[in-house]
A and B are shown apart, each in its own frame.
Chain A
Amino acid sequence: MIDISPDIEFKKELKRLSKSSLNECMQCGTCSVVCTLAPEERPFPRKEMIWAGWGMKDNLIANTDIWLCHQCGDCSTHCPRNVKPADVFSAIRQISYQHYACPKILRKIVNRPALLPVAILIPVIIIAGILLLAGTFRIPDGPVNYSKFFPHAWLNSSFSLITFLSYSFAISGLVKFWNDLKRSRPEAKPKNGLLISLFKNRSGILSHSKFGKCNTQKSRKISHFLVFYGFIMLLVVTAFAIIAAITHNYPLAFTNPFKILGNVAAVMLVIGLSIMILNRLINKNSINSTYTDWSFLISLFILSVSGVVVEAARFLNWQSAYHLYFFHLVCVWYVIIYLPYSKFGHLVYRTVAIAFANSIGRK
Chain B
Amino acid sequence: MDKKLAVYICSGCGIGDSLNVDKLLQLSSDEQKVTVCRKHKALCSVDGYNTILKDIETEKFHGLAIAACSPRVKTEVFDFPKNIIAERINLREQVVWCSEPGDEDTQMLAEDYLRMGIAKIKNISAIKPYIADSISSDILVIGGGITGITAAIEGAKAGYNIYLVEKEKELGGKLNSFYKQYPANEPFNILIDPIISDRIKEINSYKNIKVYTSTTIKEISGQPGNFDVILLNGKEVKIQVGSIVTSMGWEPYDANKLSHLGYGKYENVVTNIEFETLIKSNPDIQLPKNILFIQCAGSRDKDHLPYCSDYCCSTTLKHAKYIRELNPESSVFVIYKDIRTPGLSEEFYKEVQKDNQVFFTKGTVSDITPENNQLKVTVKETLLGDDISVKVDMIVLATGMTPAGTEDMNLTYRLGKGLPKLKYNFSDSHFICFPYETRRTGIYAAGAVRAPMDVASCLEDASGAMLKAIQCIEATKRGESVHPRAGDKTYPELYMDRCTDCKRCTEECPFGTYDETEKGTPLVNPSRCRRCGICLGSCPERVISFSDYSINSVSAMIKAVEIPDEFEEKPRILVFVCENDAYPALDMAGSKGLKYSPYVRIIPVRCLGSVNKVWISDALSCGYDGILQIGCKPGDDYQCHFIHGSELTQTRGENIQETLTTMMLEPERIKTEFIEITDYYRIPDIINSYVETIEDIGPNPFKDM
Contacts of B362 in A (CB 8 A): 27
If A23-B355, A54-B359 touch, whether A6 touches B331 (CB-CB below 8 Å) is yes
Given A23-B353, A23-B355, A27-B362, do A50 and B383 touch, yes or no (CB 8 Å)?
A: yes
A26 touching B339, Cβ below 8 Å = yes
Q: A40 near B: Cβ within 8 Å?
A: no
A56 at interface, CB cutoff 8 A: yes
Contact between chains at A3 and B389 (CB < 8 Å): yes
Chain B residues with CB under 8 Å of A42's CB are 385
The residue that B356 contacts in the complex, of A2, A11, A50, with Cβ under 8 A, is: A11
Which residues of chain B have C-beta atoms less than 8 A from A54's C-beta? 359, 361, 384
Contact of B388 among A4, A12, A26, A47 (CB under 8 A): A4
Q: Is the CB of A8 within 8 A of B357?
A: yes
B568 beta carbon closer than 8 Å to chain A: no
Nearest Cβ in chain A — how far from B294, in angstroms? 15
* Residues of chain B from 322 to 341 with CB closer than 8 A to chain A in the complex: 331, 333, 339
Please tell me if the beta carbons of A2 and B386 are within 8 angstroms of each other in the complex.
yes
Whether B263 sits at the interface, judged by CB under 8 Å, is no
**B350 & A2 in contact (Cβ 8 Å cutoff):** no
Contact, CB under 8 Å: A24 / B383: no
> Complex: how many Å from CA A55 to CA B378?
18
Given the interface pairs A23-B358, A47-B383, the reply to whether A81 lies near B388 with Cβ below 8 Å is: no
User: CA separation between A146 and B333, bound complex, in Å?
Assistant: 66
Known: A1-B386, A42-B385, A54-B359. 13 other contacts (CB 8 A): A1-B378, A2-B386, A2-B387, A3-B389, A6-B331, A6-B357, A6-B359, A21-B354, A24-B350, A24-B354, A27-B360, A27-B362, A54-B361
Interface residues in A1-52 (C-beta closer than 8 Å to B): 1-4, 6, 8, 11-12, 15, 21, 23-27, 42, 46-47, 50-51
What are the residues of chain A within 8 A of B354 when measuring CB–CB?
A: 21, 23-24
A53 interface residue per 8 A CB criterion: yes
Asked if A24 and B353 make an inter-chain contact with CB atoms under 8 angstroms apart, the answer reads: yes
Q: Does B191 contact A (CB under 8 A)?
A: no
Residues of A within 8 A of B357 (CB): 6, 8
**Contact partners of A27 in chain B: CB under 8 A:** 360-362, 383
Contact A47 to B339, CB < 8 A, known contacts A23-B353, A24-B354: no
Tell me, yes or no, whether B390 is within 8 Å of chain A by CB.
yes
Inter-chain CA distance A204–B33, complex, in Å, is 95
- B356 & A51 in contact (Cβ 8 Å cutoff): no
Also in contact, A1 and B388, with CB within 8 A (given A23-B355, A54-B359)? yes
Residues in chain B near residue A6, CB distance under 8 A: 331, 357, 359
| A53 in contact with B359 (CB, 8 Å) | yes
CB pair A1–B384 under 8 Å, yes or no, is no
Q: Chain B, interface size: which category?
A: 20 to 34
How distant is B609 from chain A, measured CB to nearest CB, in Å?
A: 46
On whether the beta carbons of A1 and B356 are closer than 8 Å, the reply is: no
In the A-B complex, the 3 residue pairs with the smallest Cβ-Cβ separation, listed nearest first, are: A4-B390, A24-B353, A2-B388
Q: Which residue of chain A has the shortest Cβ distance to B346 in the bound complex?
A: A26
A25 to B383 CA separation, bound complex (whole angstroms): 12
Given A12-B356, A23-B353, A26-B339 in contact, is the A2-B384 Cβ separation under 8 Å?
yes
- Chain A: residues with Cβ within 8 Å of the partner, total of 25
CA distance A4 to B378 in the complex (A): 10
CB-based contact A47/B384 at 8 Å: yes
22 A–B contact pairs at CB < 8 A?
A1-B378, A1-B389, A2-B384, A2-B388, A2-B389, A21-B354, A23-B353, A23-B354, A23-B358, A26-B339, A27-B360, A27-B362, A27-B383, A42-B385, A47-B383, A50-B361, A50-B383, A50-B384, A51-B384, A51-B385, A54-B359, A55-B356
Q: How far is the CB of A9 from chain B (nearest CB, A)?
A: 10
Q: Residues 476-496 of chain B: 1 if any A CB is under 8 Å from the residue's CB, otherwise 0?
A: 000000000000000000000
Contact yes or no, A81 B386, CB < 8 A: no
Q: Please, what's the 1-or-0 string for B342-382, where 1 marks a CB less than 8 Å from any CB in chain A? A: 00000001100111111111100000000000000010000
Q: Which of B333, B356, B378, B388 has the most CB of A within 10 A?
A: B356
Over the window 386-402 of chain B, the binary record of Cβ atoms lying under 8 Å from chain A Cβ atoms (1 yes, 0 no) is 11111000000000000
Contact B385 A1 (CB under 8 A): no
A-B CB pair tally, cutoff 8 Å: 60
User: In the complex, what residues of B have CB within 8 A of residue A21's CB?
Assistant: 354
Which residues from B are CB-within-8-Å of A81?
Answer: 350
- Bound state CA distance, A26 and B341, in angstroms? 12
Nearest A residue (CB) for B331: A6
Minimal Cβ-Cβ distance residue in B for A53:
B359
Residues on A with C-beta less than 8 A from B383 are 27, 46-47, 50
A11 to B354, CA, bound (A): 12
Query: What chain B residues lie within 8 Å of A12 (beta carbons)?
Result: 356
Name the residue on A nearest B355 (C-beta).
A23
Distance in angstroms from A93 CB to nearest chain B CB is 20
A157 to chain B, nearest CB (A): 50
Residue of A nearest to B361 (CB): A50
Minimum C-beta distance from B343 to chain A (A): 15
Which residues of chain B are within 8 angstroms of A26 by Cβ–Cβ distance? 339, 349, 353
With a cutoff of 8 Å between Cβ atoms, the chain B residues found around residue A50 in the complex are 361, 383-384
Contacts of A25 in B (CB 8 A): 353
B384 surroundings in chain A (CB, below 8 A): 2, 47, 50-51, 54, 56
A1 to B333, CA, bound (A): 17
- Pairwise interchain contact A1-B387, C-beta atoms closer than 8 A: yes
Distance of A4 Cα from B360 Cα, bound (Å):
12
Closest B residue to A81 by beta carbon equals: B350
Are A4 and B389 within 8 A (Cβ)? yes
Q: For A2, what are the chain B residues with a Cβ–Cβ distance below 8 Å?
A: 384, 386-389
CA distance A108 to B389 in the complex (A): 35
A202 CB, nearest partner CB in chain B, Å: 30
Bound form: Cα–Cα A172–B390 in Å:
35
CB proximity of B335 to chain A, nearest CB, Å: 11
Residues of B within 8 A of A53 (CB): 359-360
Q: How far is the CB of B8 from chain A (nearest CB, A)?
A: 60
A68-105 vs B, CB cutoff 8 Å, 1 = contact: the mask equals 00000000000001000000000000000000000000
A contact residues around B349 at 8 Å (CB): 26
Chain A min CB distance to B342 (Å): 14
Nearest-neighbour CB distance to chain A for B464, whole angstroms, equals 31
In the complex, what residues of B have CB within 8 A of residue A46's CB? 383
Bound complex: CA A55 to CA B356 (Å): 9
- Say yes or no: A8 contacts B356, CB within 8 Å: yes
Contact partners of B350 in chain A: CB under 8 A: 24, 81
Q: Please indicate the chain B residues that have their CB under 8 angstroms from the CB of A55 in the complex.
A: 356
A23 touching B387 in the complex, CB below 8 Å, given contacts A50-B361, A81-B350: no
Q: Which residues of B contact A3 (CB under 8 A)?
A: 388-389
Q: Which residue of B lies closest to A42 (CB)?
A: B385
Within B600-632, the residues touching A (CB, 8 Å) are none
Give min CB distance, B277 to chain A, whole Å.
29
B409-456 contacts to A, CB under 8 A, are none
- Name the residue of chain A whose CB is nearest to the CB of B349: A26
Question: Which chain B residues border A1 with CB–CB below 8 Å?
Answer: 378, 386-389
Q: How far, in Å, is B382 (CB) from chain A's closest CB?
A: 9
Residue from B384, B386, B388, B389 with most neighbouring chain A CB atoms (10 Å): B384
Task: Give CA–CA (A346, B356) in the complex, Å.
Answer: 29
Complex CA gap A4/B333 in Å reads: 10
How far, in angstroms, from A53 to B384 measured CA to CA in the complex? 10
Distance in Å: Cβ of A240 to nearest Cβ of chain B: 48
What's the least CB distance linking A83 to chain B, in Å?
9
A25 to B385, CA, bound (A): 16
A56 to B382, CA, bound (A): 14
CB distance from A73 to the nearest CB of B (A): 22
Interface mask (B297-312 → A, CB under 8 Å = 1, otherwise 0): 0000000000000000
Q: How far is the CA of A50 from the CA of B336 in the complex (A)?
A: 14
Shortest beta-carbon distance from B404 to chain A in Å: 34
Which residues of chain A come closer than 8 Å to B339, judged between CB atoms?
Answer: 26
Which of A4, A15, A27, A50 counts the most B-chain CB atoms under 10 A from its CB?
A4
Residue in A closest to B358 when the chains form the complex, CB atoms: A23
Report the separation of the CA atoms of residues A35 and B211 in the bound assembly, to the nearest whole angstrom: 62
Across the interface, name the chain A residue whose C-beta is closest to B362. A27
Closest B-chain residue to A24, C-beta based? B353
